[in-house]
Structure 1
Amino acid sequence: MRAVAVSAAHHLVDVQVPDPQPGPHDLLVRVHAVSVNPVDVQSAGRGPTGGDPKILGYDAAGVVEAVGPRVTRFRPGDEVYYAGDIRKPGSNAELQAVHENIVGRKPSTVDMAQAAALPLTTITAWEALFDHLGLTAESTGTIVVLGAAGGVGSMVTQLAKTRTKLSVIGTASRPESSRWAVDMGADEVVDHHQGLAREVLRLRPDGVEYVFSPHSAANVGEFARLLKPFGHVVAIDEVDSVQPLKAKSIAWHWELMFTRPMYAPEDDYQGRLLDEVGRLVEAGQVRSTLVTRLGPLNAATMTEAHHLVGTGSGSSIGKVVVTI
């Protein structure tokens, strides 16, 4: 099969590799579309751990071509979407073997590209809100969503507005980013470049209960100011110290959507999660965050996609998708 891989020289290259063979619980998926996330760009920058090129890519949508002997949830011909497993060859290929437990049924009301924009950011947002923060349909208060126009921020906003009673304050620094965040459901938007804590406290003088953060390193002190005592931060990036949060007993949560595939492969939580979000998409309660379509899938197109996405600096809006 044809695929796009990262070489030892950190370049994206076209390769031909043997077709993957599905394991007992695997689906063999013919990939129709993939989306690009900052983690793809970061992985390309690191290059492969060995000498052979490594196939990158996580988000994908496609059609099941074959199933392993122990698969129970899917059959050939099913349309699916998923975010993959960081330990295995990625989705930037014509075919991919993926465990059925982390696969959802593609929403019927969107095309393959629109579906491919969803899985990684949706799982990240869902686990952040409902697993780490423990939010429910009756939860109230305010959550500040940093990078509200980005892929994950867009899904955090949509799910918070769809499945809780929270008010959402998004952060954005450009007019087009602010408009996107409002379109996603943000009740208010602040420019974090004007001082994050100052701008949030201007709207909520007593502080807020929750923060979702993909941009933590320079903001821990700001979080300590804008959060109420016993508030919560859920972060998807790295930071060296959260010491400023101690005085208010503010809780810090890490979210990594690859944790379940790595440590609990027998758990079908993420597959069921994607099925539920698929129903929300079909009901018109959640929308795809696809903004840019590129194609076909080859090294030149993927290099362009990586350039557009960058490394998650917060300047991008929505998702970039490459169709095969």
Structure 2
Amino acid sequence: MQALITAEPNLAVVTDVPLPEPQAGEILVRVHAVALNPVDALCVAHPLDENFGRVVGSDFTGTVAKLGQGVKNWAIGDRVAACSINPRPGGFAEYAVLEEDLAFRIPDGVSFEEAATVLLCSLTAARALFIRLGLPSPFPTTAEFYANYPVKPTRTPTILIYSASTSVGLFVLSVLQSMITADPSFKINVIAIGSSNNHAKFVSLGAHHSFDYRDFEWQKKVLVATDGQGIDYAIDCLSEGERTAQISRVFGTGDNPDGIFGTQRTIYGVVWTGLGHDVVYDNGHVLESPPAHRQQAVDFKFLSAGSPCDKSKLPIEPNPVRLMPGGLAEVAKNGFELPGSDLVNERMKSFRSESYMKPIFAEKLVYSFLFEVRYYILTAIVR
């Protein structure tokens, strides 16, 4: 089968690789759509390990083509969404293999392309909100691998989402909406920081206030919006440069006269720990976590169940899709150029003229291989 794989020297190339065979507890998926994540380009420019030849691609969707021994919850032809990370093969290929419990069933009203935007970033959002910050979850959660939750505020809390127009930021807003849908008694004030072009989108996802990150007075405006009390929680979707320090200045001081710098706790995490395998990245070793794996499986069941208001839709809103043209060969040529492999401020400072190569704002880049097949069939008929 054709696949996009890592190759020396830090490149991605299309080549033929063996068709994977599902083992016990695994399913083989015929890939229809793949969403591009910044980590995909990073894993090519800065390989996860020295073993070149890994299939690239984190988030993908398709149909079940074959079942491994003992698989009972899936059937041939089921529509499925999944994500993968080193050392597992990724999704930029004709077929991909994955564990049966690390995928969700795509509701009938959701396209392959929409579903492809969901997993890696929505899982990151859910992990940040429910495990790291300890907010009430719309689905069962376990605290067995995080012993100390942050202290709960005594008033209606305020959460700030920095870089809310990123994929993770949009999912944080959407997941917060799902919390309120699941428990209308839960109250939280939401402040989104991002480009003013996307403020209407933030409001549609439940933000009470939106401020432009380029506004030199956004910190002052946050304090005004909170009646001088400041925020209680924050999720920084970029964590670059001075942003963490800037965010820290809008926290409430509580009983500490020195402000948040005396009480703030910055928490970092990697969603990969729940995907069932150790990950080698940037000369570090991220250990697989069985408790995180179990939690991830619960998250997938939540997504498979559909929206409580409409089972044909997901319980959270997918990212807007920018459908990218071309096949596997175009991913490294065009797709990787947009997210880049450096800090956000250094990414693609000079943009190309093609409409699909414009800067990324509040959307996800998706390649549709199902669309390619249809296109070539239609071309053949016309000829």
Q: Give the structure-1-normalised TM-score.
A: 0.86
Answering whether residue 249 of structure 2 is matched by residue 219 of structure 1, we say: no
Partner of 1:293: 323
Choose which of 205, 209, 212 in structure 2 pairs with 1:188. Answer: 209
- CA displacement at 1:47 relative to structure 2: 3.9
Please give the alpha-carbon distance, in whole angstroms, between the structure 1 residues aligned to 2:106 and 2:315: 15
Asked whether the 8 Å contact 2:110–2:313 carries over to 1, the reply is: no
Alignment match, 2:147: none
Please give the alpha-carbon distance, in whole angstroms, between the structure 2 residues aligned to 1:245 and 1:269.
31
- Number of residue equivalences: 310
Whether the 8 Å CA contact 2:26–2:100 is kept in 1: the answer is yes
Structure 2 segments unaligned to the other structure (5+ residues)? 139-151, 181-186, 278-287, 346-359, 370-383
Which runs of 5 or more residues in structure 1 are unaligned? 231-243
Q: Is residue 251 from structure 1 mapped to residue 265 from structure 2 by the alignment?
A: yes
Displacement after TM superposition at 1:67 (Å): 1.5
The equivalent of 1:238 in structure 2 is: none
Aligned-partner SS, 2:266:
strand
Match of 2:49 in 1: 49
The 5-angstrom pairing of residues 70-109 of structure 1 reads 70-109=70-109
SS at match of 1:101: coil
Whether the 8 Å contact between 2:105 and 2:303 is mirrored in structure 1 is: no
After TM superposition, the structure 1 stretch with the greater mean CA deviation from structure 2, 307-316 or 70-79, is: 307-316
Q: Which one has the largest radius of gyration?
A: 2
Matches of residues 41-190 of structure 1 in structure 2 within 5 Å?
41-47=41-47, 49-50=49-50, 52-136=52-136, 140-164=156-180, 165-173=187-195, 175-190=196-211
Q: How far 1:13 sits from its partner (Å)?
A: 1.4
Q: Identify the residue that residue 355 of structure 2 maps to in structure 1.
A: none
Q: 1:84 to 1:54 in 2, by over 3 A?
A: closer
| Corresponding position of 2:344 | 313
The 1-side partners of 2:7 and 2:364 are apart by 25
Q: Is the 8 A contact 1:8 1:48 kept in 2?
A: no
| Whole-angstrom distance in 2 between the partners of 1:310 and 1:177 | 22
Q: Could you tell me how far apart the structure 1 residues matched to 2:95 and 2:131 are?
A: 32
Displacement, 1:137?
Answer: 6.3
Structure 2 CA distance for partners of 1:5 and 1:253, relative to 1, 3 Å: same
Measured in 2, the distance between the counterparts of 1:176 and 1:86 equals: 36
Gap change, CA 1:50 and 1:272, over 3 Å in 2: same
For each residue in 1:102-151, what CA deviation from the matched residue of structure 2 results, as whole angstroms up to 9, or x when unmatched? 11111221110111011111111111111111111699421111111111
Give the % identical residues: 25
Residues 316 and 310 (structure 1), Cα distance of their counterparts in 2 relative to 1, 3 Å cut: farther
Residues 204-248 of structure 1, C-alpha deviations (whole Å, 9 max, x = no match): 221011101122241232232111247xxxxxxxxxxxxx9551x
Distance in structure 2 (CA, Å) of the matches to 1:160 and 1:48 = 32
For the structure 1 residues 52 and 254, does the alpha-carbon distance in structure 2 shift closer, same or farther, using more than 3 Å as the test?
A: closer
Q: How has the CA–CA distance of structure 1 residues 56 and 265 changed in structure 2, closer, same or farther, with 3 Å as cutoff? A: farther
- Would the alpha carbon gap of residues 299 and 319 (structure 1) be closer, same or farther in structure 2, given more than 3 Å must change? same
Aligned twin of 1:22: 22
Amino acid at match of 2:243: N
Do 2:117 and 2:318's aligned partners in 1 also have CA atoms closer than 8 Å?
yes
Give the number of the structure whose residues are more often strand, by fraction: 1
CA distance in 2, matches of 1:106, 1:277: 8
1:215–1:50 CA distance, 2 compared to 1 (3 A): closer
Residue 186 of structure 1 aligns with an amino acid whose one-letter code is A
Number of the residue aligned with 1:234: none
Counterpart of 2:334 in structure 1 is: 304
Alignment correspondent of 1:274: 300
Call closer, same or farther: CA 1:87–1:51 in 2, change over 3 Å: closer
Conserved 8 A contact 2:132-2:267: yes
Root-mean-square deviation over aligned CA pairs: 2.6
Read off the aligned partner of 2:203 and give its amino acid letter: V
TM-score norm. by structure 2 comes to: 0.74
